Amino acid sequence: MIGAGTMGAGIGLCFARAGYEVTLFSKTRAGLDRAARHVERSLDLFVSEGGLSSGLADAAKKRIRYTTQLKKALSDAQFVIESVPERLQLKKDLFRKMETYCASDSILATNTSGLSITAIASACAHPERVIGLHWANPAEFVPLVEVIPGKRTSKKVVDVTYRISEKLGKMPVIIRKEIPGFASNRLQFAVLREALNLVAQGVVSPQDVDRVLKGGVGFRYPWLGALETADLGGLDVFHAIASYLFKELSAADTPPSFFTEIVQSGKLGIKTGAGFYEYEKNSSEAILNKRDRFFVRQLKTMKEISEL
């Protein structure tokens, strides 16, 4: 696992829980210490919510090694995931090195949020073994992973990546065309665009946008997707509504000015203590813990229901 930040630690943990030996690489020792604390905290949550025995949690923890040496991390790796900052040149440089240090049959995956897999793979002599594997934050709790073949990725690499994702207990989806934002960010940002539009037009407050999503539209989403919801509601009804409503929805191609102003004023959300909401000093750890506890419970319920 190359990169042990917000995403890398959680991704590494998923592999360790599934029985794989994992090496987490970060540029700094401090980054590795943070990753180890992240792993420990998430395992504690799985155990305290009854989703994992402490014996299995301990075994998972022992399967993770930590290093600041790239060559050491890569030399015996069969499946590598890169999750370093979202800069094309940085990723290309890294993939070039990965190819040199790794065995010739290892798979090289990137957790890019939206850069072209084909562009990243262009740095490699063997682009057929490069693939996108896009996780959602927090990676150890959210089931979805998007499997994104580049133009030259081999079918075998796609199949193996899909099967490994299933083995991790994830919910893989193949993205059949390389398209910016893949599928999950396109859906997420389509909702965000309309949410911002409703606030900008003064239709509802920021708090109420979130209430509409959590109490209504989003309440159904863990169990019914958008298309299942339409099927159950009646496609004639949904078609009639789409016919007059689509043209009313925001088609803005830039963020609304009030959003830009908030960002420019330094309000970046929980990490700066304010965003659309205000956060009390030193409250972020408790808020993220609460979020993750809820996610573990939701994951457990989803698994129980799908086993029925």
Ligand X SMILES: NC(=O)c1ccc[n+]([C@@H]2O[C@H](COP(=O)([O-])OP(=O)(O)OC[C@H]3O[C@@H](n4cnc5c(N)ncnc54)[C@H](O)[C@@H]3O)[C@@H](O)[C@H]2O)c1
The residues binding ligand X (CB under 6 A) are 3-8, 26-28, 31, 83-86, 90, 111-113, 135, 137
DSSP string, 152-196: T--HHHHHHHHHHHHHTT-EEEE--S--TTTTHHHHHHHHHHHHH
SS3 108: strand
Q: Which is nearer to ligand X, 52 or 123 (CB)?
A: 123
* Closest separation in Å from C-beta 138 to ligand X: 8
CA angle in degrees (0–180, nearest 5) for 147-294-30 = 70
* Closest separation in Å from C-beta 177 to ligand X: 19
SS3 121: helix
Q: Which is nearer to ligand X, 52 or 170 (CB)?
A: 170
SS3 77: coil
Q: Which residue has the tokens 């496609």?
A: 235
Q: Which is nearer to ligand X, 9 or 52 (CB)?
A: 9
Q: Which is nearer to ligand X, 153 or 184 (CB)?
A: 184
Q: Which is nearer to ligand X, 190 or 305 (CB)?
A: 190
Residue 156 CB neighbours (<10 A) = 11
* Closest separation in Å from C-beta 55 to ligand X: 29
Residue 124 DSSP code: S
* Closest separation in Å from C-beta 219 to ligand X: 23
Q: Which is nearer to ligand X, 17 or 134 (CB)?
A: 134
Q: Which is nearer to ligand X, 15 or 52 (CB)?
A: 15
Contact 299, 51 (CB under 8 A): yes
* Closest separation in Å from C-beta 292 to ligand X: 14
Contact 43, 292 (CB under 8 A): no
Length of the chain measured in residues = 308
Q: Which residue has the tokens 């994830």?
A: 170
Distances (CA, A) of 108 to 84, 102, 286, 290: 14, 9, 35, 34
Identify whether 255 is preceded by a cis peptide bond (ω within 30 of 0).
Answer: no
* Closest separation in Å from C-beta 109 to ligand X: 11
Euclidean distance between CA atoms 110 and 178, whole angstroms = 14
Euclidean distance between CA atoms 11 and 142, whole angstroms = 11
* Closest separation in Å from C-beta 134 to ligand X: 6
The residue sitting closest to ligand X, measured at its beta carbon, is 5
Q: Which is nearer to ligand X, 33 or 231 (CB)?
A: 33
* Closest separation in Å from C-beta 85 to ligand X: 5
